[in-house]
Amino acid sequence: MSDALAGPAESVLDGLDDEQRAAASTLAGPLCILAGAGTGKTRAITHRIAYGVRAGVYDPHRVLAVTFTARAAAEMRSRLTGLGAPGVQARTFHAAALRQLQYFWPMVVGGALPQILDYKVRLLAEAAKRLRITTDRASLRDFASEIEWAKVSTLTPEGYLAGAEDRETPAGADHQSFARLYQAYEDLKEDRHLMDFEDVLLFTAGMLESDERVAAQVQQQYRHFVVDEYQDVSPLQQRLLENWLGGREELCVVGDASQTIYSFTGATPDYLLSFRRRYPGAEVVRLVRDYRSTPEVVKLANILLADRRPGGQAAWPAPLQLISQRSSGPSPEISEHADDEAEAAGIAQKVAELSQTGTALREIAVLYRTNGQSQAFEQALATAGISYQLRGSERFFSRAEVREAIAALRTSSLISEDSGDTVAAAVRGVLSSIGWSPQAPSSTGAVRERWESLAALVGLAEQLDIERDEFTLREFVAELEERSAVQHAPTVEGVTLASLHSAKGLEWEAVFLAGLCEGLMPITFAQTQQELDEERRLLYVGITRAKTQLFLSSAAARHPGGRGRRKASRFVIPLRKELGLGAPARRIAPGQGVLSLNAAARRRKAAVCAGCGAVLTVGAQITRRRCEDCPPRYDEQLFEHLRSWRRSYAHQLQVRAFMVFSDATLELLAEHKPTTDAALLEIPGIGERKVEQHGEPLKAAIQAHLNPE
């Protein structure tokens, strides 16, 4: 191998620290990289593969890199291409298994591959009916999750009876009845020639175990295996991995036990932690330097883990302290709001500020515990005119609107003559015919998602117009088809809204962690110490996604006007202490925004009252630059006039008044009386979007007051 180390291959190792370099240049397995968040694990394995390929040690087509999400896989493929090692397979367990199944099924079983069943609930309802088991939507969902758990734990209905006595079965069913239901579901599925998500892995593993030809062919195909996020591997995935390896040891695994967040689905860090025992000759590399986050962010992450209760989960060894390699950044901020809507509006306002001061929207994420929380953020961002992407981009090309758009573009590319327009212009024209418009809709939900998808296609066309010479619509369609084949979604330019679970492995400049109250974080159903530990790790994953700016927030009540009964998350209390904040406020007046900023943030901002110079700490006072005691300097009549204008205008738009302009902004408007767009933009809280959306009616309202005739 020493020959291979010479020459340009080595340049791949530049930009790695000593430990990363040691890992990346250990090309023979078994190898285990154990390290905390942001220490460059993913970077190290990507460089290791690239180095192996460029050094001629790996045949790129014989390497299989397994990552956790399709998005991470796409990211790895593009990084490998960038590092001069294209052609390596980077997939999720599921995608890799499905490909093999599609290939071998006709040969081993014959006939068409069973169709994939997306949702278990309907089939399960039928199975329950046959068995005369009474169910409702909630119990069916719980039964479905339990079946998923059993399957990824490689337990058949019989195995469940024998091996899961300790588990509490869902919806009060006894083990026997549950096992019968599980069996009935499996039978029904087979009768209908369907397979569920877990079957894809089970069937593939089964084929590899039972058919030597299949095993030989797959083992011949793949020589080197790399698994990222190995702390969250399930017994079923592990079984598949072992079948792929077929006793060979060319395996590199990477993980962080403190980021185990899927044990509720049957995943376990045991395989990661016992790697050395299973492979006594394994090299183990540890990385401790955190390259992602500032010392301020890292400190909070360390405190959160240090505060965990000793004696919790045995398989969660004492976490390593992360050491930030970055220079100091802004202090994280903690804020409390009266209700969910106010919290979301506060976040949207901060996002707008970040965007105005130069942070790209794609570098901002709002993360939450349950998917149901997204609606409030969608609404607030849409009202503020800020684009966002709700879903991970992995299934972009499966979305109905994207398929429809590609079909329309294809037809157009076949019939249209070259009009001399740019491709982007042609794409805008075609997509207009299926409902795209240059202006984002102000509504949320499906309409907005559809628009975001189509806008992403327009954005991609614009980008490729710049990058490629003589680019044509036909080439664009070919590009889309190619990307669709590899699920390479264009990035949607916008803030990411994602659940904490789906954020693992990713990073953003600025991260908002919302809804940090008891009941949501930890979630109500986390009761045992192990479940609470997993919630803590989930928040740890959230905090460590932030590179520079971190905002933690919570709301006292769910609905505006509701009683503020929610308690601050127990996990946040030691973090508040660190940031110089006391106990969270007992009561928050409705409509009051950010109640407490930590001392450092206060010093940094040093917002002072224009009247007496006192340091301001309450959101609305900061915006209007005046403390409660100093007399207002604005025209009170104009202020009242604007308030009544806002009421009817907001009513007309069917949004809440404060989402148009806050009282603090109205006070500033009544003080400065702006009548041009340029003057409006001078008012804190008013950016280009606001001017675009409400500028004309607002100016008219001010004019009407100043010149009544």
Taking the CB of residue 373, how many other CB atoms lie within 10 A of it? Answer: 20
| Nearer to Mg ion (CB atom), residue 104 or residue 225 | 225
In the bound state, the residue with its beta carbon closest to Mg ion is: 42
Please identify which residue in the block is written with the tokens 């609905």.
Answer: 559
What Å distances lie between residue 274 and 52, 234, 437, CA to CA?
A: 26, 14, 55
- 258 is a contact residue toward Mg ion (CB under 5 A): no
The one among 42, 89, 204, 258 contacting Mg ion by CB under 5 A: 42
Smallest distance, Å, CB 211 to ligand ATP?
A: 36
Phi, psi values for residue 395, rounded to 5°: -105, 20
41 vs 625 by CB, closer to Mg ion: 41
Given 25, 39, 135, 324, the residue binding ligand ATP (CB under 6 A) = 39
As a whole number of Å, the CA-based R_g of the chain is 28
Q: Is 294 in the site for ligand ATP (CB under 6 A)?
A: no
Asked whether the CA dihedral 241, 245, 247, 250 is positive or negative, the reply is negative
SS3 709: coil
The answer to whether 329 contacts Mg ion (rule: CB under 5 A) is no
Helix extents (H) in 555-635: 573-578, 599-605, 619-624
Could you say which of 27, 34, 37, 702 contacts ligand ATP (CB under 6 A)? 37
Give the binding range for ligand ATP (CB under 6 A) out of 9-17, 269-277, 356-364, 513-521: 9-17
Partner in contact with 291, chosen from ligand ATP, Mg ion, none, beta carbon below 5 to 8 Å by kind:
ligand ATP
What's the rounded Cα separation, in Å, for the pair 622 and 635? Answer: 19
Interface residue with ligand ATP, options 9, 12, 19, 20 (CB under 6 A): 20
Pair type for strands 63-67 and 89-92: parallel
Contacts of 456 (CB under 8 A, 6+ apart): 389, 396, 489, 490, 491, 492, 493
From the list Mg ion, ligand ATP, none, pick the one residue 43 interacts with, judged by a Cβ distance below 5 to 8 Å according to partner type: ligand ATP
Q: Taking contact as CB under 6 A, which single stretch among the options 37-45, 164-172, 556-564, 645-653 is the one that binds ligand ATP?
A: 37-45
Tell me which H or E stretch contains 430: helix 423-432
23 binds ligand ATP (CB under 6 A): no
Q: Say how far apart CA 263 and CA 231 lie, in whole Å.
A: 9
Residue 38 binds ligand ATP (CB under 6 A)? yes
Q: Which helix (H) or strand (E) holds 529?
A: helix 529-543
Of ligand ATP, Mg ion, none, which one does residue 487 interact with (CB within 5 to 8 Å by kind)? none
Over the window 135 to 174, marking each residue x when it contacts Mg ion by CB under 5 A and - when it does not, the resulting string is ----------------------------------------
Q: Which is nearer to ligand ATP, 45 or 581 (CB)?
A: 45
Rounded-to-integer distance, Cα 93 and Cα 201, Å: 8
Contact residue for ligand ATP among 24, 29, 34, 40 (CB under 6 A): 40
Question: Which partner in ligand ATP, Mg ion, none is near 20 (CB below 5 to 8 A by kind)?
Answer: ligand ATP
Q: Closest CB to ligand ATP among 77 and 292?
A: 292
The closest of 453, 493, 515 to 355, measured between CA atoms, is 493
Q: For residues 264-293, which are near ligand ATP according to CB under 6 A?
A: 291-292
Write out the binding residues for Mg ion, residues 483-512 only, by CB under 5 A. Answer: 505
Contact, 290 vs 37, CB < 8 A?
A: yes
Taking CA atoms, 492 is separated from 225, 437, 675, in Å, by 31, 16, 35
Q: Are 554 and 516 in contact (CB under 8 A)?
A: yes
Residue with tokens 């409705």: 590
Binding to ligand ATP, residues 496-535 (CB under 6 A) = 505, 507
Give me the residues that bind Mg ion (CB under 5 A), please. 41-42, 505
Site residues (vs ligand ATP, CB under 6 A): 15-17, 20, 35, 37-43, 256, 259, 291-292, 505, 507, 544
